Structures are given as C-alpha cells and as structure tokens.
C-alpha cells in the first residue's frame, strides 16, 4: 500500500457508534489511525454544517480566522503536543505539530499518515463525511481510488434524539429539552436532518465508489453482536480478526445523557422517518429490520455474509 495515503475512511453516521469503532481499530496492531478521531479534512469548507477548523489553509492566517471555540480546541491540542514531547512520545508530538502548524492541503493530509509504514492498513473516521456533496466525494476517490468506506447506521429515530441530547449537552444546539416544540424545531435544522439522511449519503458515495468498497454496519450490533461486528470489519479491511477478549463489547463512547423522548416528538420522528426506514430495511435488511416501526424481533435477524450485522451494499434507490 501507499503508506502516505489512507486506505479506509469511516464516513458516519453521527451518533451511530463511530467513536466505539475508533476505539476498537486504534487498538488493533495492524491498523494505524491518527491520535485524533475526527480530522474533518474533506468537509473543511465553511459551506458544510460541521466543524471547519481546517477551513483556513495558511498557519499564519489561521489565528485570525478561527472561531473562539476552535481556538480553544487548538489550544487543547497544543497542550497534548507539549505533554507528548515531555513524556518522550516524539512520534505523537510530531503528529500534533503537523496538525497544528501545517499548511492544510492534500500533501499535508497524507503526511498525517506517514507513520503508518509498519501497519497493514491506515485510515480515519469523521462522521461528518456522511454529509459530503458529490464533488468532495470525488476528491476522496481521486486521492485513493481503492479507498474502503465504513458507514455505521443506527435507527434514525434513536439517532436523531441522541443527536439533540448530545448537541444540547455540549452546547452545540440551542434547544430547550423541556419543550417538545423547541425539540421539533431543532430536529428540523439542516445539520440534524442531513446527518440522518442515509439514502442521500449512500447514493452520493455510490456515484463514485463500487458497492464492494462500502461496508454498512449497524450501531445495534455493538450491543447484540460486537464480536460478529468486528469480525466483519476486520475481514473487510483485510486484517487479522480480533481476539474476543480484546473487544470492548457494550461499553459506550461519547454517549448522550439518557432522557425520555416526549411522545409528540416520537410521533413527529415516526412520521418523518417511517417511509425511509421501510426502504432501507427492504434494501439492507439485517438490523434495519428491528428499527422503529418494522415490528421484527432480533431473533428473526438472519446472518448475511461474514456477520449478521453486515451486508455488502447494493445500489439504493429512494
């Protein structure tokens, strides 16, 4: 492989277990992943409703262009760089130096993977890649025509509610969780709607990549079959399977604080997503069949390919 280019990307979805997947893969001896989970390189344009900390390419102009919250994030990474240097973790310190002070272009992006020479595969996971437009997916294809893509899906109703709670907890969404009307208004924001539009994501990527390069996984498998889930992922990436004891099983990562969903909000989400859920379940099967409104029990989920929670994706027609 070309060790200066990623060989796989995790492309979403938001609040669908991508942080859990990152924790598993970064611990695999044959996989190199950057010390930061989300790079946001391909969605760095300000036109995307996602973090745009890489929008300004020049390190000289960057301090004058970043929002205060982004400067705070960079400050945290600067302290991580210092800590790595002080503890003689020079490889990681070098990575953070590139991250903070590089000129953001494709050469810079591929340099983030230069330490991957002794690994069999390398990649990164940025859930916001699920909202990319066609021209930026074409840039991924140009970077590596053989790129493998992992998309984790979750019941879109549960995902939307988790998204709202997480955004409220982190101060990213201005929403009153005591007001159903306020919640529904937040659910209608483009940055929430886009991240739950699985059909758009799949169709956009299938314009540029063969279905054999896309692996669809399910958040629900983290609880019900984490061993099968990771067996499918490792087979897809062409690396050795995990020893069973090395998988974190049901430990959740970046979980939203639990909170009951108001009935009126659930009714709204059912009305919004029911037709999409039905189409996705018909196309992908597997855990999509137990999503809200499908009335299929877990016992009726049939294995597909290497593991019951994975399917190689056919073309999806909404």
- Helix, strand, coil percentages for the chain (3-state, nearest 5): 50, 10, 40
Structure token digits, residue 158: 């549960």
Class of domain 8-34+128-312: alpha beta
Spans of all domains in the chain: 8-34+128-312
pTM: 0.88
Determine the 3-state secondary structure of 297 from DSSP. coil
How is 35-74 classified by DSSP, letter by letter? SSS----TT-STTSSS--TTS---TTTHHHHS-HHHHHHH
Cα–Cα distance, 87 to 287 (Å, whole number):
44
The per-residue pLDDT for range 195-207, each reduced to its tens digit, is 999 999 999 999 9
> What is the per-residue pLDDT for 244?
65
The per-residue pLDDT for range 75-94, each reduced to its tens digit, is 999 999 999 999 999 999 99
The per-residue pLDDT for range 172-184, each reduced to its tens digit, is 667 778 888 888 9
Q: Which of 124-138, 178-192, 214-228, 232-246 has the highest mean pLDDT?
A: 124-138
Cα–Cα distance, 293 to 306 (Å, whole number):
27
Please check the confidence at residue 122 and state whether its pLDDT lies above 90: yes
> What is the per-residue pLDDT for 36?
93
Higher pLDDT, 251 or 28: 28
The per-residue pLDDT for range 46-84, each reduced to its tens digit, is 999 888 889 999 999 988 888 888 888 899 999 999 999
How is 162-174 classified by DSSP, letter by letter? HHHHHHHHTTSS-
> What is the per-residue pLDDT for 6?
95
Cα–Cα distance, 25 to 27 (Å, whole number):
5
Higher pLDDT, 1 or 228: 228
User: How large is the average pLDDT for residues 152-160?
Assistant: 91
Average pLDDT, the chain: 85
Do residues 291 and 155 make contact, with C-beta atoms less than 8 angstroms apart?
A: yes
């Amino acid at each position: 492989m070309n060790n200066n280019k990623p060989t796989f990307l995790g492309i979403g979805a938001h609040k669908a277990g991508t942080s859990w997947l990152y924790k598993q893969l970064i611990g695999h001896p044959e996989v190199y992943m950057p010390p930061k989970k989300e790079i946001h390189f391909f969605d760095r344009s300000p036109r995307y409703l996602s973090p745009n900390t890489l929008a300004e390419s020049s390190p000289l102009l960057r301090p004058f262009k970043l929002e205060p919250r982004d400067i705070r994030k960079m400050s945290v990474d600067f302290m991580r760089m210092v800590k790595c240097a002080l503890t003689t973790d020079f490889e990681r310190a070098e990575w953070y130096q590139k991250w903070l002070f590089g000129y953001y272009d494709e050469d810079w992006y591929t340099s983030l993977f230069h330490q991957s020479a002794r690994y069999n595969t390398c990649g990164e996971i940025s859930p916001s890649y699920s909202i990319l437009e066609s021209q930026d997916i074409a840039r991924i294809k140009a970077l590596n025509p053989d790129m493998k893509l992992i998309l984790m899906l979750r019941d879109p109703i549960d995902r939307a509610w988790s998204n709202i709670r997480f955004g409220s907890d982190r101060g990213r969404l201005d929403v009153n969780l005591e007001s159903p009307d306020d919640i529904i208004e937040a659910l209608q924001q483009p940055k929430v709607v886009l991240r739950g539009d699985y059909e758009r994501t799949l169709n956009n990527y299938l314009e540029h990549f063969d279905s054999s390069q896309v692996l669809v996984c399910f958040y629900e498998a983290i609880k019900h079959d984490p061993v099968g889930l990771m067996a499918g992922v490792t087979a897809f990436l062409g690396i050795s399977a995990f020893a069973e004891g090395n998988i974190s099983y049901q430990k959740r990562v970046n979980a939203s604080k639990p909170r009951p969903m108001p009935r009126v909000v659930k009714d709204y989400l059912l009305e919004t997503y029911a037709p999409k859920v039905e189409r996705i379940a018909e196309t992908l099967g597997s855990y999509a069949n137990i999503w809200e409104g499908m009335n299929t029990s877990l016992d009726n989920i049939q294995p597909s390919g290497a593991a019951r929670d994975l399917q190689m994706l056919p073309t999806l027609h909404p």
